[in-house]
Amino acid sequence: MRVLYCPLCERNVQLKKHFSWPIFLLGLLLFGVGAVVYILWYIIKPGDACPICGGKKFMPARIKKKPTQISKPKPSEKEVETV
């Protein structure tokens, strides 16, 4: 699944799909062919909504930068001997 940035939640999210039972049942009543087509379409289609807020406007995912650790310089041999 794709990960995108939701500006409403201000976080990276994986999109979710919405299954429509009325469309599925209508397709099942119409000789069952519509239900099979809907299930195949549901499997193939990408997600279209934020799982947290339900928003539908997205931006490319933002990568969080890890803070860099500032390391102390290693003491030279002369400094170690004098200590």
Summarised one tens digit per residue, pLDDT across range 27-53 is 888 877 878 888 888 888 777 778 788
Give domain status of residue 76, yes or no: no
Q: What is the structure's pLDDT at 63?
A: 75
Does the predicted TM-score (pTM) go above 0.85?
no
d(CA 55, CA 49): 6
Give domain status of residue 49, yes or no: yes
Q: Cβ distance 3 to 61 under 8 Å?
A: yes
Q: What total number of domains does the chain contain? A: 1
| Tokens read off for 67 | 């803070």
Give domain status of residue 83, yes or no: no
Q: State yes or no: pLDDT of 60 exceeds 70.
A: yes
d(CA 1, CA 3): 7
Q: State yes or no: pLDDT of 73 exceeds 80.
A: no
Q: State yes or no: pLDDT of 77 exceeds 60.
A: yes
Give domain status of residue 53, yes or no: yes
Residue 49 sits in which domain range?
3-63
